[in-house]
Structure 1
């Protein structure tokens, strides 16, 4: 009897590969391992949380037949939402800042989503801010369900139940550092909580782009004025605090700028054959900083949140990099 596969694309989310970098570690004592989230069908780590949150919404009756999925996104959560909406037959409306790459915008529309572009410079809480715009649309739309990734406790829980256990198993428990940048905070919070429960000595390091409020808040526990997401790197850092982020799980923050993030991502492609996005470059930059200072055998694990194919018109385009003074 022939047994044909009965899985949908949703069954391929998660269980992504983890590989050791072969060339980029600057210290022979240090091994750097990267988790390739581009292997999920939406080509990013956000597939995990969106699937988890939508399935919970269906079970609890918050999302019903004929419903509309609404979310504010820097692109990857939107891609996951649009993909899953297409499979399940929901309408999908997404708001995003105007710095989101054209590749990301086109992918959302390819899945059939409606997108609304908002100014990146809009202040948090203002009517034109992409988060507030999503709230406004949800309030006016019948049968709407907002994923609410920034403040939804299911966001870090998804990583606690999937990303953390996967990394622990793949590394056979041999981890000294876990490195992950944050925007919603779901990845670093959920994954770190799981890893620290297995081994409290694991150090968690968060790269944060210059301009984000997270680094200063971590150090002072005060919300700085003038925080802005007008830096070029997408999907990390923030101009407001989020309920999905647990700073108590973070041991240190390393600030990083656009140039260092993008140069690390470009090196990753050319030296390791791994095409990943700018936030992956931020994570990798922090790994290299840690590696340079290590004086004993060290294993660092980090996340590569998405594919570099989403940024071909930006960080992998020499002309764009030169125009924005990002080439070294």
Structure 2
């Protein structure tokens, strides 16, 4: 019988499980996906949003005519917009500038006001998204900052709803639970409940971007939105969310971006589940885990949000090729040229003129990217770490006319950033990117700068 609700808020939760029969083919342990994108707002964050608003009302923090403010990658903001507007509040969402544009469009459609701010700056920087929303909360009378990262009503939503649903849907047979870790609320609440009702027998696995510091990475940038813990190299204090309890997570599967993105695309094309990139990371982790299990085990993996919010990114062949995540055999891509090129040369933006000139001796076209100083880059060089370019000819000219000395820092001699193409794009596209004014193009593989090609190599 079709359900009838008095409000859309009554439809939050109660999402189905789907067996991943095709992706899990040949694996003894069954894998079931918890389709959280079927929540009314399209993500698991609807649960936390409702829980946080109700708790704030109960505690007197949010009163009639008030304003809800939150920093979000999109999904929590959407949930708060739905709940908040339904209950008569103004909603302001501070959105990370790297989030998919569709999320901001959806927020505005629900009546929220959107403020874009960066997260790729040190936490102490006043421009950081968290500080932007805190200032708004202090300046607007009657404002309440949801603060999903430290709000314990976030994990509590999953203790009360998501965990019990999974236990009931599997008849208590679930043995392994896999989910991504963003604020940590979903995995803490759901995983904690499943451990409690099973007497500790359920194993909880975190799916984490390869470079995220949750799972042991250095916190350098990645491309899967809404999960992981980023650490800017200039951040002084690394704070983890209070909503996250690390003791709930038994182990992590660290998933490279390409594996996450391609798995999410397979979910849509093989299982009919149009989900986002963090769902791809979670399913990739679940497949790894399940391959080591037997038929008496049962894996539940949580799919946090819908792929409809990523049609311009993950589910776009053009975007995937441009960022180096998609290489097709029939496409005349840049891989052969990249394989034949000299190794990538980079110059720290704070290097001296003399040191830079020495490095540029082997750079294609005598030009190299100027990058943020970082002790090591085990996960590759992210485009966000490229702050400009350095030219051998420009440095030599500055030395010749006395404008610079070998021991001087590069400073104003750092030029504009170089054009960028993906390894899956064609030489013709790379030539167009270089244009008439530039000599070198950077090539991305899996979203990281893997090499540089001089103009003559593209002819």
TM-score between the two structures when normalised by the length of structure 2: 0.67
| Residue equivalent to 1:234 | 225
| Residue equivalent to 1:68 | 67
Contact 1:259–1:326 (8 Å) recurs in 2: yes
| Residue equivalent to 2:156 | 157
Q: Secondary structure at the match of 2:314?
A: coil
> Equivalents in 1 of 2:135, 2:244: separation in Å?
24
> Equivalents in 1 of 2:262, 2:138: separation in Å?
42
Superposed, which structure 2 residues align to 1:108-147 within 5 Å?
Answer: 108-147=107-146
Contact 1:99–1:232 (8 Å) recurs in 2: no
| Residue equivalent to 1:220 | none
Alpha-carbon deviations, 1:266-323, whole Å to 9, x = none? 0011111110000000000001111223355421101001111110110000000000
Alpha-carbon deviations, 1:115-162, whole Å to 9, x = none? 111123112232122122111211111100111100011111110000
Aligned length: 316
- Greater C-alpha Rg: 2
> Equivalents in 2 of 1:272, 1:159: separation in Å?
26
| Residue equivalent to 2:424 | none
Q: Secondary structure at the match of 1:164?
A: helix
Contact 2:53–2:84 (8 Å) recurs in 1: no
- Residue 60 of structure 1: how far off its partner (Å): 2.1
- Residue 227 of structure 1: how far off its partner (Å): 2.4
Contact 2:27–2:291 (8 Å) recurs in 1: no
> Equivalents in 2 of 1:35, 1:299: separation in Å?
13
> Equivalents in 1 of 2:25, 2:215: separation in Å?
25
Kindly tell me: are residues 114 and 161 of structure 1, through their superposed partners in 2, closer, same or farther at Cα, counting changes over 3 Å? same
Deviates more, 1:171-180 or 1:110-119: 110-119
> Equivalents in 1 of 2:211, 2:28: separation in Å?
33
| Residue equivalent to 1:202 | 202
> Equivalents in 1 of 2:167, 2:8: separation in Å?
25
Contact 1:49–1:155 (8 Å) recurs in 2: yes
> Equivalents in 2 of 1:140, 1:84: separation in Å?
23
| Residue equivalent to 2:97 | 98
Contact 2:28–2:291 (8 Å) recurs in 1: no
> Equivalents in 1 of 2:222, 2:128: separation in Å?
16
> Equivalents in 1 of 2:66, 2:27: separation in Å?
54
> Equivalents in 2 of 1:83, 1:74: separation in Å?
16
Contact 1:177–1:205 (8 Å) recurs in 2: yes
Contact 1:26–1:291 (8 Å) recurs in 2: no
| Residue equivalent to 1:259 | 258
> Equivalents in 1 of 2:77, 2:109: separation in Å?
12
TM-score between the two structures when normalised by the length of structure 1: 0.93
Deviates more, 1:142-151 or 1:114-123: 114-123
Contact 1:27–1:291 (8 Å) recurs in 2: no
Deviates more, 1:21-30 or 1:190-199: 21-30
> Equivalents in 1 of 2:268, 2:282: separation in Å?
14
> Equivalents in 2 of 1:182, 1:142: separation in Å?
33
- Residue 21 of structure 1: how far off its partner (Å): 1.2
- Residue 251 of structure 1: how far off its partner (Å): 0.7
> Equivalents in 2 of 1:269, 1:5: separation in Å?
29
Q: Secondary structure at the match of 1:214?
A: coil
Contact 1:26–1:288 (8 Å) recurs in 2: no
Q: Secondary structure at the match of 2:183?
A: coil
Where does structure 2 lack aligned partners over 5 or more consecutive residues? Answer: 231-238, 328-459
| Residue equivalent to 1:289 | 288
- Residue 6 of structure 1: how far off its partner (Å): 5.7
Kindly tell me: are residues 97 and 24 of structure 1, through their superposed partners in 2, closer, same or farther at Cα, counting changes over 3 Å? same
Contact 2:37–2:306 (8 Å) recurs in 1: yes
Q: Which runs of 4+ in 1 moved over 3 A?
A: none
> Equivalents in 2 of 1:5, 1:27: separation in Å?
40
| Residue equivalent to 1:48 | 47
